Structure 1
Amino acid sequence: MIIMAKLFPARLHVVLASNSPRAVVFRRGPSKEVCTFLWDRKSDSVEIGQWLKGRIYERRSDLSPDGKFLLYFAMNVKWDSETRGSWTAVSKAPWLKAVELHAKGDCWEGGGLFLSKNSYWLNDRYANSNNRLITSSLVKQNKSYVPEGQFGAEDTGVYYRRLMRDGWTLLRKEQYGKWNRATIFSKELKNSWILTKVAHEQVGSPEGKGCYWDEHMLENKVSGSQFIFDDWEWADNDGDSIIWCSKGCLYRASLKSKKDLGERMLVKDFNEYKFEAIAAPY
């Protein structure tokens, strides 16, 4: 493995399968390179998927309930190509090779959510048959589904709905200034712990974080213990554990105590990876 000299650690985001221990980790860095990984949360084994020279909008992405299919929105700015520079794809997780492919041509909307293990909602009000480049019998777009609520058309329109589908409660919205607003979510975990997620939508955000970034707080309703983690870029629960990403690394810790986290265990350090061409096995 070739170690990269980096000013900033890799950026990580994770999508979890709701009915399977499978998860997909998106690793971004440098800014125009991203790689996918398959994480088995039962064994904590991690295997590499594929790299893309471009950008995957991880907050507009989703994983099927059984963890077999990945839905993602990507851009490589090749505007004269068949995909017109951006596209939504459904692939076999953790690979990026499309089994269904929708050309986009811009970054308005894009991505979507799984409605079942093989049906999905496409976040594109203007999609038409001319945009559909690859069709598969493995999955099917639900064209009649209309999502509830008003959350915007880009990252927030998919990400916030995914959070609420997966057990997060939307608490409130806050405005920190003209260009920085946030939506606050919470999730009840094991042993009286509550995880709070502050989802920022900020223009000119802290260096390296992008326009959309999260902060987290963990508190216990019984003991009153409270911890603020502004370096946790992603966090969720996994059974009796809390799992999170920070500075290019994936961690987990037990929630058996009501006063403190259990021993912090490093699942994987993703900082040492460098782009390589990897072909999907299908």
Structure 2
Amino acid sequence: MYYIRLQRDGWKLKYSAPDGEGDQVTVFERRVNDHWTLRKLAHAGLAHSAGRGVYFDTHELFNSRTGEVISKMDWEWAELDGARLIWAAKGCLHSGRLDAKGLRNEKVLHDFSPMQLEKLAAPY
């Protein structure tokens, strides 16, 4: 369902392949502007680092004019909001804009890291 939803929301399925470490990686892309493409690497498998589940996403930025790839392995989620790029990493929600030279005007929109889960007894 997740991959179908991504495609419904404008992500283009590019390919799926083993990553050499036991995971299957499916790559989706969204064009940001004339220079940059946002890639979502959807990982599925048992070979993962601590703090990640069996299914997780990483991201990278690809410059189609220069071939430059900027890996964003700590981005857990990323999406376009109009011309603005937004992403979640290390408990914070961030935003920025991509121009010909790369990611600019980065800022933290909100830091969620102080939040803690609260145990609630049913009924809620």
Give the TM-score normalised by the residue count of structure 1.
Answer: 0.40
Aligned to 1:198: 41
Counterpart Cα distance in 2 of 1:275 and 1:232: 22
Give the partner amino acid of 1:252. Answer: S
Q: Identify which of 214, 220, 224 aligns with 2:57.
A: 214
The structure that has the greater radius of gyration is 1
Whether contact under 8 Å (1:225, 1:259) holds in the other structure is no
Taking only the aligned residue pairs, the percentage that are identical comes to: 37
Q: Aligned equivalents of 1:269 and 1:178: distance in 2?
A: 32
Contact 2:24 2:43 in 1 (8 A): yes
Q: Which residue of 260, 268, 274 maps to 2:102?
A: 260
What's the CA shift for 1:178?
7.4
TM-superposed deviation, 1:275: 3.0
Deviations 1:214-267 (A, max 9, x none): 111102223544311111111111111111111111100012x21111121101
Give the superposition deviation at 1:277: 7.0
Cα distance change on mapping 1:161 and 1:221 into 2, 3 Å: same
- Return the structure number with greater strand share: 2
Deviation per residue, 1:24-52 (Å, 9 max, x gap): xxxxxxxxxxxxxxxxxxxxxxxxxxxxx
Q: Evaluate the alpha carbon distance shift between residue 226 and residue 204 of structure 1 in structure 2; reply closer, same or farther with a 3 A threshold.
A: closer
State the Cα deviation string for residues 175-232 of structure 1 (Å, max 9, x = none).
1247311111111113431011111001142110100111111022235443111111
2:46 and 2:54 map into 1 onto residues whose CA distance is 6
Match for residue 272 of structure 1?
A: 114
Equivalences, count: 120
Q: Work out whether 1:165 is the aligned partner of 2:8.
A: yes
**1:220/1:259 contact within 8 Å kept:** no
- In 2 relative to 1, CA 186–276 (structure 1 residues): closer, same or farther, beyond 3 Å? same
- Contact kept, 8 Å, 2:79 with 2:87, in 1: the verdict is yes
Confirm or deny: 8 A CA contact 2:21 2:47 kept in the other structure.
Answer: no
Please give the residue correspondences for 1:103-252 in structure 2 after superposition, counting only pairs within 5 Å. Answer: 158-177=1-20, 179-252=22-95
Q: Structure 2: how far apart are the matches of 1:217 and 1:178?
A: 19
Q: Could you tell me how far apart the structure 1 residues matched to 2:117 and 2:40 are?
A: 31
User: Secondary structure of 1:233's match?
Assistant: strand
Match for 1:245: what amino acid? A
For 1:155, the equivalent position in structure 2 comes to none
Q: Tell me, which stretches of 5 or more residues in structure 2 are unaligned?
A: none
Secondary structure at the residue paired with 2:74? coil
When normalised by structure 2's length, the TM-score is: 0.86
Question: C-alpha distance in 2, partners of 1:167/1:161?
Answer: 10
> Taking structure 1 as reference, are residues 201 and 191 closer, same or farther at Cα in structure 2, changes over 3 Å only?
same
